[in-house]
């Protein structure tokens, strides 16, 4: 335990810096999941989206992100085969590697999975730096499978949602009247699904253990409340004759733009509560080992301290404010042209997929899910509506994310081992 005894404070400071860096990467890259469709559909400006995301991502991360970390091994590595010294250096390497890859991806506007990045980084240091046996390879298969399953599922749901919008509203004799009639129903569905997602993946981690029935009923109540607020806001929207001369459905899209504000706020809160764990989970494990002097048992659970959550939340906000706009632009504008009605279909489809996958215990990527949903909306309009060149670049970035995280983690792991006396 000489490493922890001799360098405990230095390791703690470095771990916090690396954790903040990783959280910055989550904010810069992954927050586009919540905001991309709203910006791309012009329901919100970039500036409005960043302000909303900063508020609700921070609230979600700090208030509902305090989950009990999975055991130190986190289902990916076997802590019984890794010494506390190597565990600390390995998790630090994973955080630094994941943050570095997310920085590269964000500067290029690539929407990649923060989950897959950190998973690849953890696998990398454990497999090469310790032993191949130190990795729970059985847990890697479902992650790889989710790359295919979740985008396809989200794409199918968004396709169906957008077709329903076309049938119920767009292709009718009076689209504006039908929009005001059916959009409140979509608002109810959105409020219900998003709140259910927040409860199943967020609020259970703060000690609010609701039963399935309680969560379901509360979600219905929130859905009704969202619908009533939406109806009140929609009452102020009237047909804009002049705007409709330029674009026939301009007034209709104004109705859907109101809906997109709700989905943007709710998705940002839910995302903050979920994905902050990608940054603070490994950091909490490091802090637990250091504070216990290297005595924390492999199977023990470590509660995420409030200050770590705060650090993660601040990192997300800073990342969003500095580089978030690049990936937001890719998600919202460069895959297919989005309007509020199309953006709503993509966002609700993504949320529904996350809820379904959570119920089944499947590891998923919110990034992959939302991109799949946007592709579904694009396909509903015809293959010509898709930017195939950008889609190819996104798919390529997905393929290289896990190995990139792993390779960087291996490099950083051996550098840190050398710096701290070759432990």
List all residues 6 or more positions away from 7 whose beta carbon is below 8 Å from its beta carbon: 420
Residue 303's DSSP bridge partners are 68
Using 50 as the pLDDT threshold, list the residues of the chain that sit under it: 67-73, 297-299
Q: Tell me the backbone φ, ψ of residue 174, rounded to 5 degrees.
A: -130, 80
Give residue 149's pLDDT. 82
Burial-class residue 278 by CB neighbours within 10 Å (0-12, 13-18, 19+): buried
- Which domain range does residue 179 map to? 2-419
Q: How far is CA 84 from CA 70, 80, 287, 293, 423, in A?
A: 17, 9, 11, 9, 11
Q: For the chain, count helices (H), then strands (E).
A: 15, 0
Total domains in the chain come to: 1
Q: At what angle do helices 140-165 and 366-380 cross, to 10 degrees?
A: 30
Residue 395 in tokens:
């798919």
| HSE, side-chain direction, 13 A CA sphere, residue 315 | 31
Provide long-range contacts, Cβ within 8 A and 24+ apart, for 49-52. 49/264, 49/328, 50/320, 50/321, 50/324, 50/325, 52/261, 52/264, 52/265, 52/268
Q: Give CA–CA dist 106/100, Å, rounded.
A: 10
Q: Which two tokens stand for residue 389?
A: 């060149």
Q: Which residues pair with 386 in a beta bridge?
A: 336
pLDDT at 108: 80
Torsion of CA 285, 97, 51, 326, to 10 degrees: -160
Between CA 253 and CA 251 the distance in angstroms is: 5
Residue 16: the pLDDT is 92
**70-75 contacts, C-beta under 8 A, 24 or more apart:** 70/281, 70/301, 71/298, 71/299, 71/300, 71/301, 72/285, 72/288, 72/289, 72/296, 72/298, 72/300, 72/302, 73/136, 73/298, 74/122, 74/281, 74/282, 74/285, 75/136, 75/139
Look at the alpha carbons of 328, 331, 336, 342 in this order and tell me if their dihedral is positive or negative: negative
3-state secondary structure (DSSP) of residue 4: helix
Q: How far apart are CA 226 and CA 304, in angstroms?
A: 32
3-state secondary structure of 303: strand
274's CB contacts (< 8 A; 6+ apart) are 60, 65, 201, 202, 366
Q: Which residue has the tokens 């919540």?
A: 34
Q: What are the φ/ψ torsions at residue 207 (nearest 5 degrees)? A: 85, 0
State the first-to-last Cα distance of the chain, in angstroms, to the nearest integer. Answer: 10
CB 384 within 8 A of CB 226: no
């Amino acid at each position: 335990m000489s490493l922890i005894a001799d360098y405990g404070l230095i390791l703690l400071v470095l771990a916090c810096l690396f954790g903040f860096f990783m959280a910055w990467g989550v904010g810069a890259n992954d927050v586009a999941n919540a905001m991309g469709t709203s910006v791309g559909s012009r329901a919100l400006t970039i500036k409005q989206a960043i302000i909303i995301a900063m508020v609700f991502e921070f609230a979600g991360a700090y208030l509902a992100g305090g989950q009990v970390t999975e055991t130190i091994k986190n289902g990916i590595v076997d802590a019984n085969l890794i010494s506390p010294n190597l565990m600390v250096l390995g998790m630090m390497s994973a955080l630094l590697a994941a943050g570095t890859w997310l920085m590269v991806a964000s500067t290029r506007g690539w929407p990649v999975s923060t989950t897959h990045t950190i998973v690849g980084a953890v696998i990398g240091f454990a497999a090469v730096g310790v032993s191949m046996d130190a990795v729970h390879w059985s847990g890697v298969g479902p992650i790889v499978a989710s790359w295919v399953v979740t985008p396809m599922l989200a794409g199918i749901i968004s396709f169906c949602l957008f077709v329903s919008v076309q049938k119920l509203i767009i292709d009718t004799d009076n689209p504006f009247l039908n929009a005001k009639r059916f959009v409140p129903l979509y608002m109810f569905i959105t409020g219900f699904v998003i709140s259910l997602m927040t409860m199943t993946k967020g609020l259970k981690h703060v000690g609010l253990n609701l039963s399935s029935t309680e969560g379901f009923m509360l979600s219905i109540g929130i859905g009704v409340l969202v619908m009533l607020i939406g109806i009140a806001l929609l009452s102020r929207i009237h047909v804009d004759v002049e705007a409709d001369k330029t674009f026939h459905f301009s007034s209709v899209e104004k109705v859907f733009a109101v809906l997109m504000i709700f989905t943007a706020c709710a998705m940002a809160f839910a995302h903050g509560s979920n994905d902050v764990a990608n940054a603070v989970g490994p950091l909490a494990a490091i802090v637990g080992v250091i504070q216990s002097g290297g005595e924390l048992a492999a199977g023990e659970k470590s509660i995420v301290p409030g200050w770590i959550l705060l650090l993660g939340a601040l990192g997300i906000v800073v990342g969003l404010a500095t580089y978030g706009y690049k990936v937001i632009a890719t998600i919202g504008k460069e895959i297919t042209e989005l309007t509020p009605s199309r953006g709503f279909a993509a966002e609700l489809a993504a949320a529904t997929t996350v809820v379904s996958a959570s119920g089944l215990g499947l590891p998923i990527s919110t990034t992959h899910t939302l991109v799949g949903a946007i592709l579904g909306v694009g396909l509903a309009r015809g293959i010509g509506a898709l930017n195939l060149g950008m889609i190819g670049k996104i798919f390529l970035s997905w393929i290289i994310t896990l190995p990139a995280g792993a390779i960087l983690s291996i490099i950083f792991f051996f550098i840190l081992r050398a710096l701290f006396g070759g432990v």
